[in-house]
C-alpha cells in the first residue's frame, strides 16, 4: 500500500481579508468573485460563523426541496452565514435579498462559488444596495510569502521615504514563481508537482468551464486556441482581428470575429481573461490617447501552461519572459490596487508613448509604473518613458504623480534614484 501524502496548509492572510470585513460592515450581504482555485471559500471561512455548503450533494438535494417550502430555514444560522456554491441554487439570491431587507442589519451573508453562473433564464434581482462585491485574484508574491515586502505602495503615495532595501529573489526564482502561479494550494507544493497545477487549471477551463459558463456549446479545442493566442500576445494591445488571424493558423473551420468575441466574453465571465483598460489623463499635448485594452490573463501561469513552457524555457527566451513578467506584475499590482481603493490602467498615445501601469486611486492620486526584467539599460529606458509621460500631464487640471517607479523582476536593491524614480524588485513590494 502506498503511503498517503498529507499536506498541512495553514491559512495565508489575504488582502481580501480586510476588504471582506470592510464590506460586511456596510452591506447586508457580500459576494466574493474571482477565478476558481483563487481561495474564495477559504477566505470566507475565516470570518463565517455558520456555513451552508451547497457543494455537498446531499445538502444540495435537501436544500432544493426546502427552498420551495421555507427558504428562511436555509438562511438561519449564526452570522455572517456563508452560502458556498450558491449558484447551484440560484433562487437563494432573491431569498437572501429579501432576508437582508427584513433583518435590516449589516454583515448577514457571504456568497461564494464557481464562476459558472446560474441559468441565465433564472430571475435574479441585481442586489443593488443590499449586496457588496469583493474581487479576488490569485495570490500576489506578498500574499504567498515569497518576497520580503519592504516597500509599501501606500507609503509612497503618502510621500514617505525609505532606505535602500535588499532583494533576495533571482531571475530563476521569478521564472519558477511565474509558471507556478498564485494559486493558493500551489504555494504549499514544490517543483514539478506545483507546476502541474496550472496545466490542470487550463484543462479544466477549456474542457468543462467554457461549456458551462452560460450554457452555450463551445469547442474545447477552440477555447484552448484562444488562450494560446492570448498567451502569445500577452501584455500587448492586439485587436480582435489579430487574435482571429492567429487562431485561424490552427483552425480549419470557419471563424469570424463575433465567434472570437464570444469566446473571450466567456473567459472573462470565468475571470480567466482580464484585459487592462486605458488611462485617460488630462494632457498638455495634443496627442490622442489610444483606448484599446492590453491583453492579460488573470495569472501568468495560465499562459505558460497553455503554451506548454516552463521556467527553463523562459530563461532561454528573455523577450517572452519579459512579457509574461509584465502579466505577473499586473496581477500583483491589481491585488494591491484593491487594498488602496485604486484601479489599474495602462497608457498609450498617438505619439507612441506607452506606460505599462498607472495606479489611480479614488482620491485622485496616482503613480506611474514601468515594468522591466531589470538591468541598467532597461531601467534607463523605463525612466525616460516615465519622465516623458509626466511632462505631458497637464498639472493645472490634475496633480503631479505621487511617484514614478520601475518595477523589476530582479535587482540587488530597491532604491530611489537621484532623479526621484524608484527602482523596486517585485519581491520587495507590498500594498
Distance set, CA 118 to CA 29, 115, 123, 196 (Å): 18, 9, 10, 30
Residues 422 and 156: beta-carbon distance below 8 Å: yes
pLDDT in tens, 250-293: 665 678 899 999 999 999 999 999 999 999 999 998 899 999 99
Question: How open is the CA angle 370-372-374, to the nearest 5 degrees?
Answer: 130
For residues 336 and 68, what is the distance between their CA atoms, to the nearest angstrom? 42
pLDDT level of residue 242 (50, 70, 90 thresholds) = very high
Q: Whole-angstrom Cα distance, residue 357 to residue 339?
A: 16
Domain with CATH 3.40.50.300 in the chain: 15-135
Place of cell 530563476: 172
Lowest mean pLDDT among 243-247, 299-303, 312-316: 243-247
Tell me how far apart the alpha carbons of residues 61 and 345 are, in angstroms, rounded to a whole number: 44
Q: How many CB atoms lie within 10 A of CB 251?
A: 16
DSSP conformation letters of 220-237: HHHHHHHHHHHHHTTTS-
| pLDDT reported for residue 125 | 60
- Distance (Å, whole) CA 306 – CA 228: 6
Cα separation, 169 vs 140, in Å, equals: 15
Q: What is the mean pLDDT of the chain?
A: 92
- The pLDDT value given to residue 115: 63
Residue 299, C-alpha cell as written in the block: 495569472
Q: Pick the closest to residue 132 from 56, 241, 218, 28 (CA basis).
A: 28
pLDDT number for residue 145: 95
Angle at 220 between CA 217 and CA 224, to 5 degrees: 135
Q: Say yes or no to pLDDT of 43 above 70.
A: yes
Q: How far apart are CA 39 and CA 182, in angstroms?
A: 10
CB 83 within 8 A of CB 94: no
Q: 117 in helix, strand or coil?
A: coil
Total H helices, total E strands in the chain: 17, 14
Nearest to 74 by CA among 100, 53, 88, 56: 53
Residues 405, 366: contact at Cβ < 8 Å? no
Closest by CA position to 302, among listed 192, 198, 190? 198
pLDDT in tens, 177-227: 999 999 999 999 999 999 999 999 999 999 999 887 877 889 999 999 999
Fold of domain 15-135: Rossmann fold (3.40.50)
pLDDT for res 67: 81
Q: Cβ(224)–Cβ(203) under 8 Å?
A: no
pLDDT at 99: 94
CA distances from 361 to 336, 365, 386 (A): 11, 5, 18
Determine the Cα angle at 131 with ends 125 and 132, to 5°: 140
Residue 25 CA to residue 29 CA, distance in Å, equals: 10
Q: Give the pLDDT of residue 2.
A: 46
pLDDT value of position 9? 73
pTM of the model: 0.93
Amino acid at each position: 500500500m502506498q503511503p498517503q501524502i498529507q499536506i498541512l496548509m495553514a491559512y495565508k492572510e489575504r488582502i481580501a481579508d480586510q476588504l471582506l470585513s470592510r464590506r460586511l460592515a456596510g452591506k447586508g450581504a457580500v459576494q466574493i468573485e474571482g477565478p476558481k482555485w483563487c481561495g474564495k471559500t477559504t477566505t470566507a471561512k475565516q470570518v463565517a460563523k455558520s456555513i451552508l455548503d451547497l457543494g455537498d450533494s446531499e445538502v444540495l438535494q435537501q436544500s432544493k426541496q426546502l427552498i420551495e417550502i421555507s427558504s428562511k430555514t436555509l438562511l438561519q444560522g449564526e452570522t455572517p452565514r456563508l452560502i458556498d456554491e450558491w449558484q447551484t441554487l440560484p433562487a437563494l439570491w432573491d431569498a437572501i435579498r429579501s432576508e437582508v431587507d427584513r433583518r435590516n442589519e449589516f454583515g448577514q451573508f457571504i456568497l461564494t462559488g464557481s464562476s459558472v453562473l446560474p441559468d441565465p433564464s433564472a430571475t435574479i434581482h441585481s442586489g443593488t444596495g443590499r449586496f457588496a462585491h469583493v474581487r479576488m485574484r490569485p495570490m500576489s508574491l506578498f500574499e504567498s510569502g515569497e518576497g520580503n515586502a519592504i516597500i509599501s505602495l501606500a507609503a509612497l503615495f503618502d510621500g514617505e521615504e525609505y532606505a535602500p532595501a535588499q532583494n533576495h529573489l533571482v531571475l530563476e526564482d521569478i521564472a519558477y514563481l511565474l509558471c507556478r502561479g498564485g494559486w493558493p494550494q500551489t504555494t504549499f507544493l514544490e517543483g514539478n508537482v506545483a507546476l502541474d497545477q496550472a496545466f490542470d487549471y487550463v484543462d479544466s477551463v477549456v474542457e468543462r468551464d467554457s461549456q458551462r459558463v452560460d450554457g452555450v456549446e463551445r469547442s474545447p479545442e477552440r477555447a484552448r486556441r484562444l488562450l494560446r493566442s492570448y498567451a502569445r500576445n500577452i501584455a500587448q494591445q492586439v485587436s480582435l482581428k489579430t487574435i482571429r488571424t492567429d487562431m485561424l493558423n490552427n483552425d480549419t473551420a470557419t471563424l469570424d470575429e463575433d465567434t472570437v468575441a464570444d469566446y473571450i466574453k466567456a473567459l472573462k465571465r470565468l475571470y480567466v481573461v482580464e484585459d487592462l483598460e486605458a488611462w485617460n489623463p488630462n494632457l498638455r499635448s495634443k496627442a490622442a490617447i489610444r483606448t484599446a485594452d492590453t491583453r492579460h490573463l488573470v495569472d501568468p501561469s495560465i499562459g505558460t501552461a497553455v503554451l506548454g513552457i516552463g521556467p527553463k524555457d523562459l530563461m532561454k527566451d528573455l523577450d517572452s519572459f519579459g512579457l509574461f513578467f509584465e502579466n505577473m506584475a499586473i496581477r500583483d499590482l491589481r491585488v494591491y490596487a484593491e487594498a488602496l481603493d485604486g484601479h489599474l490602467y495602462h497608457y498609450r498615445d498617438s505619439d507612441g508613448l506607452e506606460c505599462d501601469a498607472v495606479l489611480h486611486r479614488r482620491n485622485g492620486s496616482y503613480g506611474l509604473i514601468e515594468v522591466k526584467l531589470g538591468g541598467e539599460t532597461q531601467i534607463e529606458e523605463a525612466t525616460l518613458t516615465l519622465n516623458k509621460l509626466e511632462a505631458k500631464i497637464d498639472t493645472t487640471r490634475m496633480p503631479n504623480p505621487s511617484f514614478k517607479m520601475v518595477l523589476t523582476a530582479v535587482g540587488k536593491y530597491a532604491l530611489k534614484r537621484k532623479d526621484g524614480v524608484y527602482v523596486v524588485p517585485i519581491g520587495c513590494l507590498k500594498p
